[in-house]
Amino acid sequence: MVVTAPTPLLTEIAETAEPLTRFFTRFNLGPFDVEEAREAISKRLQSTKQGIEVDDDVVVDIVDKTQGHPYFVMFVMFELLGKLGKVKNVDLKSLEQYWPKVRESLFKTVFDQKFKTASPKERELMIKIAVADSKVVSAKDFSSFKGINVLMSRLEENELLVRKDRGQYSLFHPLFSEYLKDQNPDLG
C-alpha cells in the first residue's frame, strides 16, 4: 500500500491518524535528475513489453522542460507516446514536433484544475506574478493588492506558490507560469 500526499498534509494526517505515519516508511519524492528520470521512464516502458526505446537527449530535454517534476516527467512521456502511436524509438525530433500538443494537454489536464481552485483575486495575483517574469517575488512587489500577505499565504497553502526564502516566493513551476501568461488577455 502506498499513500501519497504533499508534505504539509502528511503532518496533518499524523495529528489525526498517527498510526498511518507510524507503520509506513516516509519517502519524500523530489525532482528527478536525468538518471532518475531515465530509470523511471525505462522501467515503465519495460513493463509494457513493447520494446520502445527513448533517446538520451529526449530524457534530458524532458527533464529540462519539467525541471524533473516526477509527475510531469511521466505525464509528458505518456502524452508523447500517445501522440506518436506505435513506435519503437522516441527521438528528439518527435518530442519537438509534438511538444506544443503535449504542453497544451498538460495545461488543460493539470493547470486548469489548479487554477480553478484559486479565488478570482488569487488568480489575478498569480497572473501578475507570472507576467513579472521574476525568479522570486515578495508581497511588497504587489502591494497594490489588498490583503496581499493573506493572498500569498493561501496560495502557498494550496501549493500554487513556493516559499524560497523569508518573504520570497515563486510560482510552483515554470510551466505553470507559462500557463498563467496564456490566461492573461493583455498578453494576447
pLDDT tens-digit profile of 99-139? 999 999 999 999 999 999 999 999 999 999 999 988 899 98
User: Does residue 27 form part of some domain?
Assistant: no
User: Tens of pLDDT along 155-169?
Assistant: 998 889 999 888 889
Position 16 in a domain:
no
98 and 144 share a domain? no
Say yes or no to pLDDT of 19 above 90.
no
Distance between CA 158 and CA 42 in Å, rounded?
Answer: 32
Average pLDDT, the chain: 86
Structural domain boundaries, residue 50: 34-114
Find which of 27-31, 43-47, 50-54, 78-82 is predicted with most confidence, using mean pLDDT.
78-82
Residues 44 and 110 in one domain: yes
Using the predicted structure, report yes or no on whether residue 69 has a pLDDT greater than 60. yes
**Quick check: 151 pLDDT over 80?**
yes
For the cut 50, the answer to whether the pLDDT of residue 187 exceeds it is no
- Asked whether the predicted pLDDT for residue 188 surpasses 50, the reply is no
pLDDT at 5 over 60: no
Helices (H), the chain: 7-16, 18-23, 34-48, 56-66, 70-84, 92-106, 112-116, 120-132, 148-157, 174-183
Residue 42 burial (10 A CB sphere; 0-12, 13-18, 19+): middle
Question: Does residue 171 fall inside a structural domain?
Answer: yes
Same domain, yes or no, for 77 and 146?
no
Same domain, 157 and 175: yes
Number of domains into which the chain is organized: 2
pLDDT class of 22 with cuts at 50, 70, 90: low
Shared domain check, 79 and 106:
yes
Residues of the chain above pLDDT 70, percent: 83
**In one letter, which amino acid is 123?**
R
The pLDDT of residue 177: 94
Domain boundary among 93, 114, 135: 114
Choice among 6-15, 79-88, 138-147, 166-175 with the minimum mean pLDDT: 6-15
Question: Is the Cβ–Cβ distance between 123 and 115 less than 8 Å?
Answer: yes
Q: Does the structure show a pLDDT above 50 at 86?
A: yes
- Provide the grid cell at 118: 484559486
Say yes or no: 131 and 162 in one domain.
yes
Per the structure block, which three cell numbers stand in for 132?
513579472
Among candidate residues 114, 134, 164, the one where a domain is terminated: 114
Compute, in degrees rounded to 10, the torsion defined by CA atoms 95, 63, 152, 185: -20
